[in-house]
Amino acid sequence: MTGSDTTDEEAETGATPTTGATLTDDDDRTSEAEPDDQSTGAESTESTTSEKPVRSAPGGRRAGGADAGGSEKTKRFYNELGWTETGGRPRTVDLFGTKEDGPIRVELHHAAMQRIHDAITLTGSTIDLLECGCGGTPELDLLDLCSHYTGVDFSETGIRRARRVLAGSGVDHELHLADVCDLPFPDARFDAVYAARMIYHIPEPEAQAQALQEMLRVTKPGGVIVIITANPFPILFPERSLKRLIAITPVLGPLANRFRPPPPLPYQPMTLPWFKRQVGEQGSVDLISSGLPSTAFNQRVSEFQGTGRRLWEAVRWIDLTMPRVAVWLGNYTQITITKH
Ligand SMILES: C[S@@+](CC[C@H](N)C(=O)[O-])C[C@H]1O[C@@H](n2cnc3c(N)ncnc32)[C@H](O)[C@@H]1O
């Protein structure tokens, strides 16, 4: 499997998890039913390997006068399903992963990882790295850059798996059970922060903004933050754009939701201009493609047969020849913030 295994427009998979919740094809909606749940606010911390003591966070910093934090529903999903395993593989791979690994997918995965490497090494070649939302799949492809690796996630099951995955890595590391909306680290602690496919599982925009501010806070001036996020309006996938438009339209969104079961996993991708506004004067923002296809495309279109192969070749051509235009066309975007 290529490294984008756990990409998760949960809305698109049509897979049926074993908890009884169904991931349907049309769950792309705002998570309006998801309350801000302070109980997820880094209520406990855990440190491994380096056994560094970390403070127990009080449960979410205040953003705009309100408490904010990650979602209890997201945490439950990853604790009880996503990071549990079948045959040694996390269930997220079966739910959201690609069903085949052909040469085009492998090439595109390498290209995406190379862009992440290029961005992170803007800050140096040996890096004190923080990964936010590492879950059970800490990004091993970045360990060669790390003088020290720190992983944060609020899923106990994810952190437990991450500990096993990192055990033989030979890289100095530590893991913390915490909410990224309230990071248990001092200001300017890290050279670089990496957060892949995590931020859109925080349902409230205020809490996403808070997570972003926390990442900025713990990054050194001159340091880099790399976020892999979903493009809510991918031009090449009009069906996804339409679903999102319906989801965020007042009256229409709630009305559509009344006819569908609630999604098992909150999904709230913010627009790319929104991210730029949140960063403001604090840093410069660069956008580049991080994977064009949607999960549905990945899972259903084979690169080994006629039409599918031609579609994948088109995806490859767009992604490799114009990765900065592809940001607006495709499903996943790499946001690189260089902190001033
Ligand atoms: C789709 S997984 C991504 C895992 C990994 N980054 C990857 O790309 O394979 C999302 C992860 O983000 C974590 N997460 C979501 N919201 C969080 C929050 N507010 N604080 C900490 N972790 C969070 C979930 O527990 C889950 O492990």
CA distances from 115 to 35, 68, 179 (A): 35, 32, 27
Which H/E stretch holds residue 173? strand 173-177
| Pocket mutation for ligand 1, best pick of 73, 92, 98, 153 (most atoms within 8 Å of C-beta) | 153
How many domains is the chain built from?
A: 1
Q: Which residues contact 117 (CB under 8 A, 6 or more apart)?
A: 141, 142, 145
Alpha-carbon distance of 135 to 178, in angstroms, equals 11
pTM for the model stands at 0.85
Q: What does the pLDDT read at residue 145?
A: 97
**Distance from residue 321's CA to the centre of ligand 1 (Å):** 30
Residue 68 pLDDT: 56
Distance 197 CA to ligand 1 centre (A): 7
Distance 134 CA to ligand 1 centre (A): 6
pLDDT of residue 55: 31
Structure confidence at residue 201 (pLDDT): 96
Q: In a structure prediction context, what are the per-residue pLDDT tens digits for the chain, which is 340 residues long?
A: 443 333 334 333 222 232 222 232 223 433 332 222 222 222 222 333 332 322 333 333 433 333 458 899 999 999 999 999 998 899 998 888 888 899 999 999 999 999 999 999 999 989 999 999 999 999 999 999 999 999 999 999 999 999 999 998 999 999 999 999 999 999 999 999 999 999 999 999 999 999 999 999 999 999 999 999 999 999 999 999 999 999 999 999 999 989 888 888 999 999 999 999 999 999 999 999 999 999 889 999 999 999 999 999 999 999 999 999 999 999 999 999 999 9
Assess whether the C-beta atom of 133 lies below 6 angstroms from ligand 1: yes
Give the CATH number, domain containing residue 62: 3.40.50.150
Task: Identify the domain containing residue 150 by its residue range.
Answer: 3-339
List the residue whose alpha carbon is closest to atom 1 of ligand 1. 197
pLDDT of residue 5: 34
Please, what's the b/e burial string for 122-148 (b: 16 or more CB within 10 A of its CB; e: otherwise)? ebeeebbbbbbbbbbbbbeebeebbeb
- From atom 17 of ligand 1, which residue's Cα is the shortest distance away? 70
> What pLDDT score does 70 carry?
87
